Chains A and B, each alone.
Chain A
Amino acid sequence: MDPIMWLLLALLAFMIIGALIAAETEDLLSSVVCVGAVGAGLAIIDLFLGAPDLAITQVAVEVLCVVFLIRVVLTRRDETHETHKDTLAIGSVVLVLGVLLVLGGWAMTTLHPFGEPLLASADPGVAGQYLAGGLEQTGAANYVMAVLLDYRAYDTLGEATVIFVSIIGAYAILRKTGRVHHALGNEPDR
């Protein structure tokens, strides 16, 4: 087996353990930190699977996510206690997810196996065309940017709109003006 496969499996196991701890721990802060660890694992996988763009973005975004979430969790009291009395409900959820896992795993075996994608087959499809003529057609040495901002720029415009709307939405929800009343002067620090 390929060494990169061993590395991938180890990192995936790390991510799954981190996600399980994040799911089951009582303390919200530990949960947030565990999700941060899962994202860091994903960034390392990105790096080894030939996607340095994704690794950079994932690391930067991960830090921002963790800062946002810690900002929320740290200053707020929370007395939610997960009651384990409704074992029937949890059991049925786990049962349905198990069925999903079996069916999904069966479906995964019909895909191109890992390491031999459609791109490596006899008919490489549209990605093969991008790789073959990307430098001449767009002038960009980074083919990810060539796909993102030239071949499929319209797609990126839609995604940029989604980001814009979500951030403006967050702004509108958190804003002060227009709510009740406001007076200047006693703003808390930090």
Chain B
Amino acid sequence: MPSGMSLIVKTVTRLVASFIVLFGVYVALYGHVSPGGGFAGGAIVAGGLILVMLAFGRRQTRNMFTHGMALGWDCGGALAFVAIALLGYLAGDFFLNFAGHGDPYRLASAGTIPLSNAAIAAKVGAGLFGVFLALAVFRPGQRQEGEQ
């Protein structure tokens, strides 16, 4: 039995999936200049990864996406956000926007806001994708599956 969905879905997914993930990263990184932000960008990235997984089936993507990877990015994003918050103590206060504000309307502006956006995007994207991974692996009445 061929794995995943039909050929049409697979071909279209091959064409668009990378662009969806790229758009998610763009939305997250440019959140302080244009509409978007870490939450939206993370959800879009998770949507792109879920599309790949649904189109190609669990068997083909087993080595691409693992639970450890999702959990690692999730925890890493959360820790990075807390670290940015704690780095504010360098300048004197919790969550102080210590970095220079720079030139407005540029990517490198607004101090810690783009960094926080990137951390939140990693956390939200990996978290939502990890939940879907757990849901997809889970089958009722088949407890004897492996973890991955």
Contacts and interface: CB of A to CB of B under 8 A. Distances in A.
B148 to A, nearest CB: 9
Interface of B: 1, 3-4, 27, 31-37, 39-40, 43-44, 46-47, 50, 54, 57-59, 62, 71, 74, 78, 81-82, 85, 94-95, 97, 101-102, 104-105, 109-113, 116-117, 120, 123-124, 127-128, 130-132, 134-140, 142-147
Contacts of B74: 164, 167-168
B113 A150 contact: yes
Contacts of B142: 188
B34 A182 contact: no
A57 B37 CA distance: 9
Interface residues of A, number: 55
B128 A167 contact: yes
B2 to A, nearest CB: 9
B111 A176 contact: no
B116 to A, nearest CB: 5
A21 B92 CA distance: 55
A57 B31 CA distance: 12
> Which of B97, B105, B130, B136 is packed against the most chain A CB atoms within 10 Å?
B97
Interface string A150-190: 10011011001101100110110011110111111111111
A170 B43 contact: no
Interface in A44-78: 52-53, 55-57, 60-61, 63-64, 67-68, 71-72, 75-76
B73 to A, nearest CB: 12
B14 to A, nearest CB: 18
Given A56-B27, A138-B97, A141-B104, A182 B143 contact: yes
Contacts of B123: 160, 163-164
B77 to A, nearest CB: 9
B43 to A, nearest CB: 4
Contacts of B62: 187
B110 A171 contact: no
